[in-house]
Chains A and B, each alone.
Chain A
């Protein structure tokens, strides 16, 4: 099992779940990722990613009580697992390392 958030969207969704905390459910994650990435992701793309991250063991989920505004359906809330937190830390560290020195190069041109 691949336990890393390998794709760009996977990583974006993972840090969005970390940021949103208790409010991390599909629609809210989609809004957050779309706002920050400035790209309109579909509900299907976000849920497919959430499910993949859960399969990898990086997220856990729990269902809330059904509500009338959702047609009597429940919300599925997501939270980072311990490997999920490690994946966020490792992903951030990798991206920082990749950025090292780039600012100087960009300023020169």
Chain B
């Protein structure tokens, strides 16, 4: 990815917020035009920070203005549910993850960082899966199936002896769900390769 191009993730977030193609092109085009001016005037890092700030500030107004569109409302609601489930499962699996990924100790800071990472990964995976489901139904379905498996495993299995094994399974299925979300993002953005 060239550093002189706008941040891909920020563009994707904006593109996902606007249903009408004409408006989507106009917003992304305006930002890219402004980004190019800022790069030559103030440097790439300033321009990228500006692009991200515009993206974050646009989430509220654009979500609100698009909410009258039924399809977009459904997508936002489904994303919220998927994100909630994935983040919840991630947080539940956090102690197992901490043991697997950070074997040298579980300080408070480690736990906070892990929780933040898991919640963010859940948010991104949930968003990409639901957003790309109509275009890539098979991979999207795998993501959702993994999510269901992760949630189902947690609720079906009880008992302390089996819990450790199934916790690992839960972590794996959660990981699979997140990987398929990332795969979808890569598939839709070949420039990331």
Contacts and interface: CB of A to CB of B under 8 A. Distances in A.
Contact of B26 (A42, A49, A52, A63): A63
B29 A75 contact: yes
* B25, B32, B34, B54, most chain A CB atoms within 10 A: B25
A48 B30 contact: no
B61 interface: yes
Interface in A19-44: 25-27, 30, 42-44
A48 B34 CA distance: 18
A98 to B, nearest CB: 27
Given A44-B54, A70-B29, A76-B23, A27 B34 contact: yes
A23 to B, nearest CB: 13
Contacts of B29: 67, 70-71, 73-75
Nearest to A40: B57
Contacts, number: 80
Contact of A42 (B23, B32, B54): B54
A45 to B, nearest CB: 5
A73 B26 contact: yes
Size bracket, chain B contacts: 20 to 34
Interface in B3-51: 14, 17-18, 20, 22-23, 25-34, 36
A44 B59 contact: yes
B30 A43 contact: yes
Contact of A44 (B22, B25, B34, B61): B61
A73 B43 CA distance: 23
A69 interface: yes
A11 interface: no
A71 to B, nearest CB: 4
B61 A73 contact: no
Contact of A26 (B30, B60, B64): B30
24 contacts: A26-B30, A27-B34, A30-B30, A42-B61, A43-B27, A43-B30, A43-B58, A44-B27, A44-B54, A44-B58, A44-B61, A47-B18, A47-B23, A47-B58, A47-B62, A48-B61, A48-B65, A52-B65, A67-B29, A69-B33, A70-B33, A73-B25, A74-B26, A75-B29
Interface of A: 25-27, 30, 42-45, 47-49, 51-52, 61, 63, 67, 69-71, 73-76
Given A42-B58, A47-B61, A75-B26, 5 more contacts: A27-B30, A45-B57, A63-B25, A70-B29, A70-B32
- Which 6 pairs across A and B sit closest by C-beta, in order of nearness? A44-B58, A73-B29, A70-B29, A76-B26, A42-B57, A48-B65
